[in-house]
């Protein structure tokens, strides 16, 4: 799935006093054009997580592709004690379903696009 790893951009949103309020991770992925997109990973994470797992799951199987924009919002209050960034992955729901049937699914932690937060968290 490496060819589907998205373009990732990080926006830091600060209040009037310069304190970080939230991070917005903006992504663009080229996926089959008949895809339905779901995202996961926003909200609180455990304090022992270094890179927040952000996942874009798609259901398309078309041979033609188009760009899909997906934004993740990470509020400052939801950041874990050791968290220093996010790891954005793109996964096919179709492949997951097929692999689960034959018990061959393996989640490689070295895949995806890692982006580190900017500023004092």
Angle at 25 between CA 21 and CA 31, to 5 degrees: 160
User: For residue 22, how many other CB atoms are within 10 A of its CB?
Assistant: 16
In this model, does residue 3 exceed pLDDT 60? no
- CB burial of residue 89 (10 Å; 0-12, 13-18, 19+): buried
Instruction: Identify the band that residue 99 occupies on the pLDDT scale cut at 50, 70 and 90.
Output: very low
Give the CA count within 13 Å in the CB-facing half-sphere of 79: 21
Top pLDDT among 103 and 70 is at: 70
Mean pLDDT of the region 106-115: 66
Tokens at 97, concatenated: 């379903």
Q: How far is CA 105 from CA 4, 97, 98, 102, 121, in A?
A: 18, 9, 9, 8, 35
At residue 108, the pLDDT reads: 53
């Amino acid at each position: 799935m490496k060819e589907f790893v998205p373009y990732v951009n990080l926006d830091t949103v600060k209040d009037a006093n310069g304190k970080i309020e939230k991070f917005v991770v903006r992504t663009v992925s080229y996926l089959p054009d008949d895809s339905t997109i779901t995202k996961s990973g926003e909200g609180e994470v455990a304090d022992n997580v270094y890179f927040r797992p952000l996942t874009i799951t798609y259901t398309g199987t078309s041979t033609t592709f188009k760009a899909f924009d997906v934004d993740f919002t990470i509020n400052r209050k939801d950041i874990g004690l050791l968290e220093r960034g996010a790891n954005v992955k793109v996964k096919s729901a179709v492949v997951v379903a097929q692999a689960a049937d034959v018990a061959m699914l393996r989640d490689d932690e070295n895949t995806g696009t890692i982006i580190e937060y900017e500023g004092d968290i």
